[in-house]
């Protein structure tokens, strides 16, 4: 039976009233979808969603409840329910496998009797015993003020006291509550916070071949991505990329057998190959078979810090018998990258060197400035590291991961620093993801024009792409698709 719009609005009003009457109320039963109602009202995960058409409100934070839940790799992570007079807003924190040593501290319990030491009960307790009392009554629209308050409570340089995972969970939930209080979609709230006026839908850089720390094959380089720069809309870009993904599966199955079609942490295929050029060749063949030669380009995340040994790079690092004489220095790696760009449609390369190899980064950016050289482990979304990168001209793009720095406010600052200098910015997921879709709204709100959130496979990845398609539908002709202008879409 079709619900009438009036009936839905009345039920939403009753839900909001129940939330105001009971601070502990989490509207688990108020899970409506646009498909069921015919309206663009989409509460997610049993709580008020990021893009609901809410009435707004004026009350402060009433309560914050936290718990230990699981991420996509089966490891514990932090979840928060933050309640205001509008309702309850849920956020979950992702976790990386290949992490830079300069990232903010992800607090783990280190109790080997629970989850092999990876529990997050300490972070959960820090939220409920230290953060929640300090934030009670604060206005969730004051994102910067709340984030600063948590940083002050922590008092450390890298959020090691409370844990960046504890702080970020609250920061994300605050953003959702702030958007609802203003009565605007989450992406619009982020745009307001960042001063962005132009709504741009991003290129989805889909990681379709997994290697490195994300897969059990011998492939050293971590991600081989496709980006539909020739699409006319985000929705079309998703379709084109999905068609290439399935074409790639057919190519891999034919060449290596069905067991080579197993997927890695981010949903990309993980055939047991070692040569990086072989991975690139597979992509070119799949793109051609799908009919998108010239319209879909290739990106790579090398994650070179994972296989840097004594200043050189071991491309066979998963083999315990690899030989030191086969390691490559920075110059030989540079020649290899030049070969990739010459022989394949590679337009963006992330983390081509170790996180401390500033000299090699600077040389590569100077000699290969026509492509996008992205700093991830090098910069870790940290304004101080970004400043150094700008001074050294070490790269020309930032990978933005909110859990590397630990708050929404600092993430926005990092993005603005990069954009002000003409750098590209790519918003990113982590390999240990959740069903939280905040980064989909964030990439639109910040106008970065690029997102990578895995293959079109595994629900924690497709959730972000699905949310972006909803946002594009909602914006209609008020947004544009980044396309070939993905490096500087706001210009």
Q: Annotated active-site positions, please? A: 266, 401
Long-range contacts of 455-458 (CB under 8 A, 24+ apart): 455/206, 455/207, 455/208, 455/245, 455/263, 455/266, 455/267, 455/268, 455/269, 456/206, 456/238, 456/241, 456/242, 456/245, 456/267, 457/245, 457/263, 457/267, 457/268, 458/72, 458/263, 458/266, 458/267
**What's the CA gap between 155 and 82, in Å, rounded?**
23
CA-closest candidate to residue 260, choices 221, 251, 241: 251
CB 455 within 8 A of CB 263: yes
CA-closest candidate to residue 57, choices 176, 181, 140: 181
Q: Tokens 């030049």 correspond to what residue?
A: 338
> Where would I find the beta strands (DSSP E) of 327-409?
346-350, 372-375, 397-400
Positive or negative, the CA dihedral 29, 34, 37, 39 is positive
Widest Cα–Cα separation across the chain: 73
Angle, CA 435 vertex, CA 431 and CA 439 arms, to 5°: 70
**What's the CA gap between 32 and 34, in Å, rounded?**
7
Helix axes 164-182, 438-446, angle to 10 degrees: 70
Residues making up the chain, counted from first to last = 491
**What's the CA gap between 246 and 257, in Å, rounded?**
15
- The Cβ of residue 325 has, within 10 Å, a number of other Cβ atoms equal to 5
Structure tokens at 335: 């020649």
């Amino acid at each position: 039976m079709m619900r009438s719009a009036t009936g839905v609005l009345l039920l939403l009003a009753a839900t909001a009233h129940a939330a105001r009457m009971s601070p502990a109320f989490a509207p688990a039963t108020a899970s409506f979808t646009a498909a069921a109602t015919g309206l663009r009202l989409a509460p997610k995960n049993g709580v008020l969603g990021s893009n609901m058409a809410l009435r707004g409100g004026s009350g402060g934070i009433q309560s914050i409840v936290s718990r230990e839940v699981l991420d996509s790799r089966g490891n514990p992570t932090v979840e928060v329910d933050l309640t205001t007079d509008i309702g309850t807003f849920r956020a979950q924190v992702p976790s990386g496998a290949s992490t830079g040593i300069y990232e903010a501290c992800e607090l783990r319990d280190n109790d080997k009797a629970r989850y092999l030491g990876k529990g997050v009960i300490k972070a959960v307790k820090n939220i409920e015993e230290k953060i929640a009392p300090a934030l009670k009554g604060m206005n969730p629209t004051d994102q910067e003020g709340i984030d600063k308050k948590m940083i002050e409570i922590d008092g450390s340089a890298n959020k090691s006291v409370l844990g960046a995972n504890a702080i970020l969970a609250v920061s994300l939930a605050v953003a959702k509550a702030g958007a609802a209080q203003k009565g605007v979609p989450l992406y619009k709230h982020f745009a307001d916070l960042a001063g962005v006026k132009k709504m741009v839908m991003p290129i989805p850089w889909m990681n379709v071949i997994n290697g490195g720390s994300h897969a059990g094959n011998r492939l050293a380089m971590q991600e081989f991505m496709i980006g539909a720069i020739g699409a006319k809309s985000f929705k079309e870009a998703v379709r084109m990329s999905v068609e290439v993904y399935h074409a790639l599966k057919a190519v891999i199955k034919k060449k290596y057998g069905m067991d080579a079609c197993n997927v890695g942490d981010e949903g990309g295929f993980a055939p047991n190959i070692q040569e990086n050029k072989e991975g690139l060749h597979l992509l070119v063949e799949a793109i051609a078979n799908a009919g998108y030669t010239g319209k879909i380009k290739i990106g790579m995340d090398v994650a070179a810090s994972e296989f840097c040994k004594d200043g050189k790079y071991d491309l066979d690092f998963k083999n315990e018998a690899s030989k030191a004489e086969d390691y490559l220095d920075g110059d030989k790696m540079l020649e290899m990258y030049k070969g990739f760009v010459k022989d394949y449609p590679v337009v963006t390369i992330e983390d081509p060197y170790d996180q401390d190899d500033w000299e090699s980064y600077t040389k590569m950016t100077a000699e290969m400035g026509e492509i996008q050289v992205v700093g991830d482990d090098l910069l870790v979304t940290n304004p101080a590291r970004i400043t150094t990168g700008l001074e050294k001209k070490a790269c020309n793009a930032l990978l933005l991961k909110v859990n590397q720095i630990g708050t929404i406010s600092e993430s926005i600052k990092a993005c603005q620093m990069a954009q002000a200098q003409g750098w590209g910015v790519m918003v990113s997921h982590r390999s240990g993801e959740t069903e939280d879709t905040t980064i989909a709204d964030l990439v639109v709100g910040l106008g970065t024009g690029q997102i990578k959130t895995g293959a079109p496979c595994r629900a924690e990845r497709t959730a972000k792409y699905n949310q972006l398609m909803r946002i594009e539908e909602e914006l209609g002709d008020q947004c544009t698709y980044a396309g070939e202008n993905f490096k500087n879409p706001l210009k």
